[in-house]
């Protein structure tokens, strides 16, 4: 029998969590274009071992998901000393609802030329 996710409501959508296995982000966000604003739906699932964003400033910082709990997601930053970052579900959703690893690497490469 399949495990059913625990669903949490966040600011602009929903987060479905299966502890220790996966986290699903779904809903819609507002995107502003020249012609006005439009709702853009998203539906993405992450599993333990997947790459995700944990922080950003000029660059987007990503790492590997090492734990998915009922209220938080823990990401290994890859820094020396096995440093980890624990994000609450709302922050994880905000940072990763439209995450694309390849696009993030491309943007980081461009930004690194300017730093």
pLDDT attached to residue 11: 78
Two tokens, residue 72: 């938080």
pLDDT attached to residue 64: 95
Residue in 48, 54, 43 with CA at minimum distance from that of residue 14? 43
Whole-angstrom distance, CA of residue 57 vs CA of residue 13: 24
- Which one is predicted more confidently, 11 or 65? 65
pLDDT attached to residue 6: 81
């Amino acid at each position: 029998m399949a495990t059913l996710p625990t669903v949490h409501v966040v600011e602009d959508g929903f987060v479905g969590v299966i502890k220790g296995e996966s986290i699903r982000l779904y809903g819609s966000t507002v995107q502003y274009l020249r012609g006005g604003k439009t709702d853009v739906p998203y539906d993405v699932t992450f599993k333990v071992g997947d790459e995700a964003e944990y922080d950003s400033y000029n660059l987007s910082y990503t790492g590997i998901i090492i734990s998915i709990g009922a209220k938080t997601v823990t990401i290994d930053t890859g820094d020396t000393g096995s440093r980890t970052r624990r994000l609450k579900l709302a922050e994880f959703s905000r940072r990763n609802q439209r995450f694309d690893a390849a696009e993030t690497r491309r943007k980081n490469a461009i930004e690194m030329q300017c730093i």
